[in-house]
Homo-oligomer: A and B are copies of this chain.
Amino acid sequence: MTEFELIQTYFTRPKPGLSRATLGVGDDCALLHPPRPGMQWAVSCDMLVAGQHFFEDVSPQLLGHKALAVNLSDLAACGAKPVAFFLALALPQADETFLQGFSTGLHALADEFECELLGGDTTRGPLNICITVMGEVPQGQALLRSGAQVGDDVYVSGKLGDASLALAALRGEPGVQLGAQALAELRPALEQPQPRVALGRALRGLVHSAIDISDGLLSDLGHLLQRSQVGARVQLDALPCSTHLRQQAPQLQQRCLLAGGDDYELLFTAAPSQAAAVQAAAHQTGVPVTRIGCAQAGLQIWDLQNQIPSTNFCGFDHFAG
């Protein structure tokens, strides 16, 4: 199979009725219509590498889903509506089983969010997936990391730590207490994250700051607070946590909640006066939202009784250590 047959077979699709492009896959560039009046583009780019971000033997369909999902999560964190994406793919060989599964998972999620594949690149090389995604957001209304204020409530969406608990189990880490059924229930958190696009859009105008949690709560909270030049007090026992994670030893539980990666939930801050509106947005979009603390002068993590040194935990960093 040649590179062009590969693109034609797996990555070229009928142009949707409401395409945002005058030209898509197949020329030197894609040509995009300007954003609608009053809108601006939000653009993000994520690269996934075999062995770093996923197991080599992961289901190709789930991998196709996840590769786009992590990018859509960045749009969600900005409150942007997905529009289009570009896919660059390095493959050890043109394995048709892989390509069939990968493209199926990718296109299914793209269709769900009406996000059109407009171009990209394929090449031979160690498995690597790079997606650049474009969304649109009304000018001046994007959610940013930088707006948190002292006194803000701090919230997260969904539950934290299930993805990293599943990863720990799949890696066979000692001390993980998880039966086969429980692991089956947790794997989708790791392998099929649901980008919180609807929630992000519903939070526009309500929140002071937002970020998506990809490298662990403490790490991404740190980024948000650093950008905002504030601190926060987070109540450990307030963190939304599955029953399976609650049953783990305290140390593992804390690590998954505070420093686990791959949550792809939204972390955001809002004035206390917006509490009802935030819960209404959560209700409207079907994504639970939990208040986990408040923004203050310095970063503190508290369990029921005691402050825990936040240096006990660090999120995932590809180059640290």
Contact = CB atoms under 8 A, between A and B. Distances in A.
Interface stretch (A57-65, A124-132, A162-170): A124-132
A97 interface: no
Contacts of A87: 45
A75 interface: yes
A interface, size bucket? 35 or more
A23 B43 CA distance: 10
A3 interface: yes
Nearest to A30: B43
A103 interface: no
A90 interface: yes
A171 interface: no
Contacts of A125: 47, 49-52, 126, 128
B41 A31 contact: yes
A135 to B, nearest CB: 7
Contact of A29 (B29, B53, B74): B74
A170 to B, nearest CB: 20
A88 to B, nearest CB: 4
Contacts of A124: 49, 52, 318-319
Nearest to A133: B29
A23 B128 contact: no
B49 A80 contact: no
B44 A28 contact: yes
Contacts of A3: 317-320
Interface of A: 1-4, 6, 22-23, 26-35, 39-53, 74-75, 77-78, 80, 86-91, 93-94, 118-126, 128, 130, 132, 134-135, 137, 142, 144-146, 210-212, 223, 227, 317-320
